[in-house]
Amino acid sequence: MKQIAITANGLTMRFGSLVAVDSVDLEIEKGSIYGFLGPNGSGKSTTIRMLCGLLRPSSGSATVIGMDTKKESELLKQKIGYMTQRFSLYEDLSVKENLQFISEIYAVPRKERKQRVAQLLESFSLTDRAKQRSGTLSGGQKQRLALAAATLHKPEILFLDEPTSAVDPQNRRDFWEVLFELAEQGTTILVSTHYMDEAARCHRLAILDEGVKVADGSPRQLGESISSHVVEIEADDLNSARLCLMKNQEISSITQLGIKLRIMIPKTVSDPLQLVNSTLRGENIEVKAEQVFPDLEDIFVSVTQQRRKEIGA
C-alpha cells in the first residue's frame, strides 16, 4: 500500500489581484521524485514555499509528512530540507564552517556533528575543499555544498527549487545521481525545473501554467494522455516542408530540431502520417516521416495549448 508524503487540496496563493497559484491539488508518494515543470512565473516556487510552510496560502490546505503547513509550519521546517535556486549559504565562511553552522541551526547532537560533517564532505566530494571559502567555489561545487547542507539533518522531505539552473550538463547528471540515491533511501524529493530533460528523470511530475496544474502523471502517462499525435520528418529541404505544412489548418504545431521537423496533429485526425504525406506530396516534397512517442516538450505544448483553447485565451 502506497504511503503519501505530501497532499494538497485547492492550494491557492493570491498577491493582490494576481493569482500566482490557482487551486492546485497534489498527492505525492513517499520516496518518490516529483517534479514541477513550467516556465518562470508559472507558480512553481510559490507552491514549494507554501508546502514548506514559508508562505501561508490564501485558501486551500496542504499536509506534509502528516503536518498541517498552516498550523505546524515551525515544526515542519525542522523536518524538511530546502535548497533555493540561488546559493544561500555564507560565502565568507569555509565549506566546513558552513556545514558546522547548519548542524547547529538544526540542533544536530553535538557528539554527532563532527562525524556528520565529515561524512557529507566525503559523500559530496568536498573534502579537499573543506577549508576553502564558499564564495570562491565553482557553480557545481556550490551546488554540491548547498545539497549537503540541505540534507545534513537527514530530512524526510527535500524541496529543490530550480537546483541546477547554474551548472553544466555533467554536474547536472552527477547531481541527479545523488537524488536517486536519496530517493532509494526513502527521502521524498520535490524538484522544480524548466528543463525538459531534467523533468523526464522524475517519477511523476505536474505541469504548471500560469499557476494552474494542467497535467499530472509519469512522463509515460502524460505522453499517452495528450490530445495530439506527433510525427517526425526528415527532408532535404526542411524549410520548404515546414512552409508547406504550415498551410494545413489541421496541424497544430511545427518545430525544427536539428535536421528534423516535429509536427503535432490533433488526435481527431485518425491517420496523421497520411495527412503529412499527402500535404507534402501536393507540393512534390519528398520526406521520410514516422509517428513517434511525445517527449516532454510535446506534452507541455499540447496541454498548455489545450488550456488556452478552453479558456479562450
- Which residues are CB-contacts of 35 (< 8 A; sequence separation ≥ 6)? 190, 191, 192, 193, 198, 199, 201, 202, 204, 205, 206
- Which of 190, 205, 222 terminates a domain? The answer is 222
Phi-psi region of 20 (alpha: psi -120 to 50; beta: other; left: phi over 0): alpha
Percent of the chain predicted with pLDDT > 70 = 99
Kindly state whether residue 66 falls inside one of the protein's structural domains.
yes
State whether 250 and 164 are in the same domain: no
pLDDT at 2: 82
pLDDT at 175: 87
What CATH number does the domain containing 284 carry? 3.30.70.100
Q: Helix H segments across 69-191?
A: 73-77, 95-105, 110-123, 139-151, 169-184
Alpha-carbon torsion, ordered 43, 164, 260, 263, to 10 deg: -20
State whether 206 and 258 are in the same domain: no
State whether 96 and 215 are in the same domain: yes
- Which residues are CB-contacts of 303 (< 8 A; sequence separation ≥ 6)? 207, 209, 214, 215, 222, 226
State whether 130 and 191 are in the same domain: yes
Residues 85, 180, 206, 11: is their CA dihedral positive or negative?
negative
State whether 146 and 270 are in the same domain: no
Residue 32 has pLDDT above 90, yes or no: yes
C-alpha cell at 295: 517527449
Q: Which pLDDT tens digit goes with each residue over 89-114? A: 889 999 999 999 999 988 888 889 99
Q: Which pLDDT tens digit goes with each residue over 48-101? A: 999 999 999 999 999 999 999 999 999 998 899 999 888 788 899 999 999 999
Q: What is the DSSP code string of 16-78?
A: TTEEEEEEEEEEEETT-EEEEE--TTSSHHHHHHHHHTSS--SEEEEEETTEETTTSHHHHHT
Kindly state whether residue 298 falls inside one of the protein's structural domains.
no
Residue 261 has pLDDT above 90, yes or no: yes
Task: Give the residue among 15, 34, 24 at the shortest CA–CA distance from 183.
Answer: 34
123-136: b (≥16 Cβ within 10 Å) or e: ebebeebeeeebee
Residue-number span of the structural domain to which 258 is assigned: 227-293
Would you say 246 and 300 are in contact if contact means Cβ atoms under 8 Å apart? Answer: no
pLDDT at 313: 60
Rounded to the nearest integer, the mean pLDDT of the chain is: 92
Q: Note the maximum CA span of the chain.
A: 78
Q: What's the mean pLDDT in 273-286?
A: 92
- Which of 197, 222, 247 terminates a domain? The answer is 222
C-alpha cell at 31: 520516496
Q: State the total domains in the chain.
A: 2
